[in-house]
């Protein structure tokens, strides 16, 4: 059975979304991550999680302001990949940093706030991923589902704070500023979209609605 054009596009997008993790694990296999491969892998997986959160948030502004309506079909996929990379990031922390020592993990969460903030961001993405199952979407209803999934903005803010806190200890904040600006711009675009949704500026003498 041949795939439709839309099916081919989805396959191509899946492959593109998997390129970063395949590339990273190929570097692990070939000792290409430098002197501290565990730290490099943890850092890069976290960055890709943040990038996919930004991509998912960018779908609505691009669809609304540029008229790229077809992008809406891929927003859920991009959000799930944000959760995928966030889960790999958190799993690497559990395995490589903490050795699956849950007592040490709990102590670390209490002692290092940036770990707690990152875990909260991942927990939000977990809830959003679970509730993206089609059956649950139908049971929740469109309005309640959309209201819940606005929490992705909270996840994005927490992820940027986690990133900032981590880089602040190393006095390396230049890259953090880029992601902070992106998330702030996407949040502003969302606010503007909600404000102007359903409003139309009519000819002179007619009220806007």
Comparing 16 with 196, which gets the higher pLDDT? 16
pLDDT higher than threshold 80 for residue 169: no
Instruction: Please state, in angstroms and rounded to a whole number, the distance separating the CA atoms of residues 62 and 60.
Output: 5
Query: Mean pLDDT score of the chain, rounded to an integer?
Result: 86
Torsion of CA 26, 40, 160, 66, to 10 degrees: -30
The closest of 129, 156, 132 to 54, measured between CA atoms, is: 156
The closest of 112, 47, 114, 119 to 85, measured between CA atoms, is: 47
Using a pLDDT cut of 70, give the percent of the chain over it: 90
Q: Is the separation of the CB atoms in 15 and 48 below 8 Å?
A: no
pLDDT at 199: 52
The closest of 54, 56, 33 to 44, measured between CA atoms, is: 33
The whole-number average pLDDT for the span 30-54 is 92
pLDDT at 110: 92
Segments in the chain forming alpha helices (H): 5-29, 37-66, 75-92, 102-111, 113-130, 134-140, 142-149, 152-168, 174-196
Residue-wise pLDDT for 114-128, tens only, equals 999 999 999 999 999
Residue for token digits 């430098």? 34
Instruction: Please state, in angstroms and rounded to a whole number, the distance separating the CA atoms of residues 34 and 6.
Output: 40
Residue-wise pLDDT for 131-156, tens only, equals 988 888 888 887 888 888 889 999 99
The closest of 97, 86, 11 to 48, measured between CA atoms, is: 86
Comparing 2 with 65, which gets the higher pLDDT? 65
């Amino acid at each position: 059975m041949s795939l439709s054009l839309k099916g081919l596009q989805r396959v191509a997008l899946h492959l593109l979304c998997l390129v970063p993790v395949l590339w990273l694990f190929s570097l692990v296999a070939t000792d290409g991550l430098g002197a501290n491969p565990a730290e490099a892998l943890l850092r890069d997986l976290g960055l890709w999680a943040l990038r996919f959160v930004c991509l998912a948030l960018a779908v609505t502004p691009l669809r609304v302001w540029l008229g790229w309506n077809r992008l809406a079909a891929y927003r859920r996929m991009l959000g799930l990949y944000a959760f995928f990379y966030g889960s790999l990031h958190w799993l690497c922390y559990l395995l490589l940093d903490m050795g699956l020592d849950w007592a040490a993990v709990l102590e670390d969460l209490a002692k290092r706030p940036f770990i707690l903030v990152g875990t909260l961001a991942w927990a939000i993405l977990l809830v959003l991923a679970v509730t993206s199952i089609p059956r649950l979407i139908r049971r929740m209803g469109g309005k309640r589902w959309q209201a819940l999934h606005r929490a992705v903005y909270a996840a994005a803010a927490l992820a940027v704070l986690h990133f900032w806190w981590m880089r602040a200890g190393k006095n390396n904040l230049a890259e953090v500023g880029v992601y902070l600006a992106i998330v702030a711009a996407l949040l502003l675009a969302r606010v503007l979209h909600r404000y102007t949704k359903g409003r139309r500026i009519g000819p002179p003498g007619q009220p806007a609605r």
